[in-house]
Structure 1
């Protein structure tokens, strides 16, 4: 299969007036199915965008003082990579509470990226990552830390990152398909920031956008119903705080087995290993692409690569 590729674009950093290369590829991986390869970002996922935006905004406001402040967060990994990268250039240390159920490979790589993993003894005794962060914030004086809690589930800069950067970037790349007028955006939601930001930006760019929310089998985020599942990064146990439900046209559920079958097919046919949430979304997107046309494409994200999740 020949992939159709949108040209990368240069955009401007929030921190400077010099253009930097931020674009990740947009590929037509199957007739009618466009895939934004966020796995090509530094840090390997779309989460680096929100982390970068939050850190720069906090430095600009004085909430983070380089050389003095330590950033702290609870994360399953991807947002942590983004924080480690965003903070490194500003001499800002990062401390992360990562649940033991998340990929051991991610935990090792977070340390390689320069993050300090905290609260392991607390987590082994049954504490949650949130409780680890709360304890460290309460003990900041004793620990001789001046913490800034990025709090990705309550920080609106997460949405702004995707509404002001990712969404417009996709709209720019869609010029490679000038006939497209309508998009079906197939997405999942952890915080809901990327779905809301991207969908809003694409609508503002003049596209008719239908949004299909993908959830693990047995989950219903709108009504706060969650089951244990292996699709890390989606339906994470809380109603997505930034998800604009007015954007959602349809909800579809996917089993772990279906997602893994899609991941295997993508790897064998195109040579890309999708992360679990990307594979779940692609399961739905591939089906919907059968009704795509020149004017109507299905769009989804390669949130991260699947190497983290191999056991």
Structure 2
């Protein structure tokens, strides 16, 4: 076959149809386990899907003019998706992040042609996310005609995951439980919405980090990136969740490393947290329960954190395996959690009485 007839795949065609892996021991006993959708096999991870979809929909509606600048806040993974979308559709991209972004990710985003803008101080109530969003607003004023995807509130961030849901349904035939990490709320809402139409009894289990305010806990400085929030994203489909689990950094590190050593597949903070919870579900639910878990990324950007012994030792993340069972609380605001904890009653925190801080953070 000569060069002129060699088949090629367009850049956007590299996204989707990611592998599915059966995860068993040591997360569940022999004969039990869960299915993990390995979204790290997308060029930049799971958020390649909404990065492309949000840009394509905005262009179709005329909100994003040809050649206009895309400006957005990101903790990393959506930045990769937007860099890809900018390359595919011819848009310059500016990404606003914070000092917690790994230097390797900054270099990679820059290599892909994005401009990286770093805020220096967190917002007093909305943390790094609100500080980044405020910077996005100022940058948009400096670039007339620019466009912000607003991933936290954009419904296209949710609908972008319809293909992922259909891939899972096609591959597994039936799904009883879906386990998703929650950050902007996009993939948990988008995938569960489609799967609920196919499997009305589907249970959605959310996985958050300690120190995140998404499900009604107090906002605290967070070590884990890629899940959690210090604001209240409106894409989070609170009514879809059967329960939520909060996971601590050391617990996620243990799960990430056990995944790597037992299954030759792993990822970052979100992957470890999801694997911990999905493994517990596989151990405790009936043996024939079909559990699907979404692994949002791979391990590459975490080589200096999750997989670095010096970093983990300095942050007290190598203290041994997590408890075999999570703590349980009856209300999301019953107490502040500091280790793996679950709550079977999920509500929108903005509906909790007297939550003035929540309303302030949403602004």
Aligned residues: 280
The alignment status of 1:169 with 2:174, answered yes or no, reads: no
Are residues 233 and 185 of structure 1, via their aligned partners in 2, closer, same or farther at CA, if it must alter by over 3 Å?
same
In structure 1, the partner of 2:237 is: 244
**Root-mean-square deviation (Å):** 2.2
Which residue of the other structure, out of 2, 24, 28, is the alignment partner of 2:22?
Answer: 28
Equivalent residue runs for 1:125-274 within 5 Å: 128-140=131-143, 145-162=144-161, 164-175=162-173, 180=174, 182-206=175-199, 208-223=201-216, 225-274=218-267
1:119-172 deviations in whole A, cap 9, x for unaligned? x4xx247683223212111222xxxx531111111211001111x221112111
Mind listing any 5+ residue stretches in structure 1 that lack a counterpart? 1-12
The TM-score, its normalising length taken from structure 2, stands at: 0.72
The question of whether the paired residues in 2 share the 8 Å contact of 1:53 and 1:157 is answered with: yes
Work out whether residues 209 and 247 of structure 2, in 8 Å CA contact, stay in contact via their aligned partners in 1.
yes
Secondary structure in 2 aligned to 1:147? coil
Rounded Cα–Cα distance in structure 2 between residues aligned with 1:115 and 1:283: 34
Does the Cα contact within 8 Å between 1:32 and 1:296 map onto a contact in 2?
Answer: no
Q: Over residues 68-113 of structure 1, what are the superposed CA-to-partner deviations in whole Å (9 max), with x where a residue is unaligned?
A: x111111111101001111212211111111111211111110111
SS in 2 for 1:221: coil
Q: Is the 8 A contact 2:213 2:229 kept in 1?
A: no
The answer on whether the counterparts of 1:72 and 1:148 sit within 8 Å (CA) in structure 2 is: yes
- Per-residue CA deviation, residues 180-215 of structure 1 (Å, 9 max, x unaligned), is 4x4221222111111011111111123631112122
User: Hey, what's the Cα distance between the residues in 2 that align with 1:296 and 1:308?
Assistant: 33
CA distance in 2, matches of 1:204, 1:269: 35
Q: TM-score normalised to the size of structure 1?
A: 0.83
Shift of 1:219: 4.0
Does the CA contact (< 8 Å) of 1:224 and 1:238 recur in 2?
no
8 A Cα contact 1:273 1:307, kept in partner: no
Unaligned runs of 5+ in 2: 1-9, 25-31, 124-130, 305-363
Preserved CA contact (<8 Å) 2:152 2:234: yes
Question: Is 1:219–1:235's contact at 8 Å kept on the other side of the alignment?
Answer: yes
